[in-house]
């Protein structure tokens, strides 16, 4: 039975903040942890899916992430948001799975913002949501795992550079470099494969 079914919210204060619930869970309160799972399971699964580009595998990673979180609550530092800590666990597990994956790439839908609308207005206007998903799956395959992780967390999930650096265990400068390189690769591949979506007269 998966962790998402093991822990179900019961008589828990739904208004309590994450740090309060985490403190209670650390003392063995499964109901408090259940509420944390309920709050964050969507975000955790989404992060994993956007790194792995595979919804089914992302569900497994999300389950494992919550199991790891439950087992390691004593390591959670309340100076940081609980979601940042969870994203670190989930994204690192996803990267491990990505690196261990064989050459046969399994793909499923992954909601991803390909590039900022303000920079690619024509492309985002012309493309349907499904097309954006499909194109990103193709282009993201060109990104090394660390660049994909940084890009997803910073540009898609909207986390701060500081939070991404903590999640990835690297410096903020390294995060910026990863994101810069990822964006450059995505633009180059978009221009090469789908030149019809470039801004008129624009360069990648």
CATH of the domain at 16: 1.10.1740.10
Separation between Cα atoms, residue 193 and residue 128, nearest integer Å = 17
Q: Is residue 198 very low, low, confident or very high in pLDDT (cuts 50, 70, 90)? A: low
Domain count, the chain: 2
The answer to whether residues 151 and 199 belong to one domain is yes
Last residue of a domain, one of 110, 131, 154: 110
What pLDDT does 90 receive? Answer: 94
C-alpha span between 126 and 131 (Å, rounded): 9
Enter the tokens of residue 139: 């282009």
62-84: average pLDDT: 92
For residues 16-34, give the mean pLDDT.
90
Query: What is the average pLDDT value for the chain, to the nearest integer?
Result: 77
The structure's pTM equals 0.61
What is the per-residue pLDDT for 8?
Answer: 46
Residue 38 has pLDDT above 70, yes or no: yes
CA distance linking residue 204 with residue 187, whole number of Å: 5
Backbone angles phi, psi at 31, to 5 degrees: -65, -35
Percent above pLDDT 70 for the chain:
72
* 99 & 127 share domain: no
Q: What is the pLDDT of residues 151-160, one digit of tens each?
A: 888 887 888 9
Domain of residue 83 covers: 1-110
- Residues in CB range of 156: below 8 A, 6 or more apart: 50, 112, 113
């Amino acid at each position: 039975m998966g962790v998402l079914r093991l822990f179900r919210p019961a008589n828990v204060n739904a208004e309590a903040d994450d740090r309060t619930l985490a403190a209670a869970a650390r003392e063995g309160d499964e109901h408090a942890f259940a509420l944390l799972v309920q709050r964050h399971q969507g975000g955790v699964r989404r992060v994993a899916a956007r790194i792995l580009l595979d919804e089914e595998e992302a569900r497994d990673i999300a389950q494992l992430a919550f199991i790891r979180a439950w087992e390691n609550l004593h390591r959670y530092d309340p100076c940081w948001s609980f979601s940042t800590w969870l994203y670190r666990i989930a994204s690192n597990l996803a990267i491990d799975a990505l690196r261990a994956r064989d050459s046969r790439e399994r793909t499923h839908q992954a909601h991803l913002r390909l590039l900022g609308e303000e920079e690619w207005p024509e492309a985002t206007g012309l493309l349907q949501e499904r097309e954006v998903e499909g194109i990103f799956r193709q282009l993201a395959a060109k990104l090394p795992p660390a660049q994909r992780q940084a890009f997803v967390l910073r540009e898609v999930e909207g986390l701060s550079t500081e939070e991404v650096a903590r999640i990835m265990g690297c410096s903020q400068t390294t995060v910026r470099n990863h994101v810069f390189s990822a964006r450059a690769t995505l633009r180059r591949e978009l221009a090469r494969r789908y030149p019809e979506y470039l801004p008129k007269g624009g360069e990648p």
